[in-house]
Chains A and B, each alone.
Chain A
């Protein structure tokens, strides 16, 4: 099966500019996650969707970050305006609803954002 797709793979912008990342999860996966991975740290969950509804966005900086999953399939994460500290790799992951505690998250290759 095809994996989680993300684009672009790399993005360089200046601070105060806007940027958007796209994610297409594995077909049939109802749950989609966006993680932020700052250099030298582990990934941190930004937002979790179940179909097109938000399950957890407690760690999303809502003053500048937004995300949507309008049709319950692909998703877009936006930063507006970007700050220097937003430089990180943004990882998208998906999982199926079945399997209970056994289900695992499958990760995309990530988008590396550099804010100058």
Chain B
């Protein structure tokens, strides 16, 4: 069965510093991986996806993610964090029936 794990409940980073939000996956077959962000009282917003091709995927709002097959990881990164990036981030994998299976989420807190 497909699954993703987000090992950190919360990540704290100072504004201007680089940030990383971790995600590891377990799939049978090719991984189709996604990152979504959720702001308070709002729905999930798509950030980026990995289907195939380059291991570094660029997405919205300056975010990028690095796919690492040997480590079965898909970590979300940003070179310079903003206070406005503070939100809940979800990693997800899509299975063969098009269903998204989400991780438990990581709360990112960026301090000024």
Chain A residues with a Cβ under 8 A of chain B: 4, 31, 33, 40-45, 48, 55-56, 91, 93, 95, 101-102, 104-110
Chain B residues with a Cβ under 8 A of chain A: 32, 34, 36, 41-46, 49, 51, 90, 92, 94, 97-105
12 of the cross-chain contacts (CB-CB < 8 Å) are A31-B98, A91-B44, A93-B43, A95-B98, A101-B32, A102-B49, A104-B34, A105-B100, A106-B46, A107-B45, A109-B41, A110-B43
B102 contacts which chain A residues (CB < 8 A)? 42-44
Which of these, B32, B44, B46, B94, contacts A43 with CB under 8 Å?
Answer: B44
Which of chain B's residues has its CB closest to A110's CB? B43
Q: CB distance B43 to A42 under 8 Å?
A: no
Known: A42-B102, A42-B105, A43-B90. A55 touches B44 (CB 8 A): no
Which of these, A44, A56, A91, A104, contacts B43 with CB under 8 Å?
Answer: A91
In the assembled complex, the CB of B31 is this many whole angstroms from the nearest CB of chain A, namely 11
Known: A42-B104, A43-B90. A107 touches B99 (CB 8 A): no
In the assembled complex, the CB of A111 is this many whole angstroms from the nearest CB of chain B, namely 10
